[in-house]
Copies of this chain bind each other. A is one copy, B any other.
Amino acid sequence: MKNLPDKTVERLSQYRRSLNNQLTKGKTNIFSHELAHLLHITPVQVRRDIMLIGYSGTLRKGYDIKEMINLIGKIIDTDEGQRIAVIGMGNLGKAFIHYLHEKGSKLKIVASFDVNPDKTDKTYAGVHCYHFDRLAEIVKKEEINIGIITTPPEVVPQIADKLVEAGINGILNYTPKPLSVPDEVYLEEYDMITSLEKVAYFVKHRD
């Protein structure tokens, strides 16, 4: 499959979640306008995304929910499921682990890291916390290929270097410290303060 647009990929993840939800409610088919309504987007956008992934619904019956869930899985997930590490076991790191814990997602957080001895060598929601010194070792052993960084910003560049060195393929940086990594590593950054200041701006300038 040709590479999908960024935004479509984001929505696929959300479609899947909504669809799973509908499935548990006993629904088997869904119209573009229904799915759109659930995500508060437009039906056209739904249909366009579905077109891009090469799926087809049936006229007047909409889309088969199970089929769509499976297809999205084929697009996003790998067969083995990707294995993830969280670096930094503060509140944000814990939130992540907690978030992924219940879901039947293919994404598995299999290790966490910290330097604080109060946190290392303990297990939180089924995820063991190792000392950061053991990063390379554990990444290899556990076949981790994605890292989520939730540490204080000062140490982010070194952490990223270590992750890349250890052979990770994707990084999700949740700190306010912008990062750059080699081209072959996929990087996604998100800054909580920025999104809050964005809200502040648009609240101030609304009308």
Q: Name A158-204 residues within 8 Å CB distance of B.
A: 169-172, 176, 178-180, 184, 186, 188, 190-204
Partner of A91, one of B6, B94, B191: B94
- A102-141 CB contact bits vs B (8 Å, 1 = yes)? 0101110000000000000000000000000000000000
Give the number of residues in A that approach B within 8 Å (Cβ atoms): 63
Partner of A148, one of B75, B84, B179, B196: B196
On whether the beta carbons of B186 and A206 are closer than 8 Å, the reply is yes
Partner of A196, one of B107, B191, B196: B107
Taking A14-B178, A99-B193 as contacts, is the C-beta distance between A9 and B206 under 8 angstroms? no
Partner of A206, one of B176, B180, B184, B188: B184
9 A-B pairs whose Cβ atoms sit less than 8 Å apart in the complex: A9-B197, A14-B194, A17-B193, A39-B178, A76-B204, A90-B95, A92-B95, A172-B195, A184-B206
Further 8 A-B residue pairs, CB within 8 A, beyond A9-B201, A76-B200? A9-B202, A40-B180, A91-B95, A95-B192, A96-B192, A145-B203, A170-B200, A186-B203
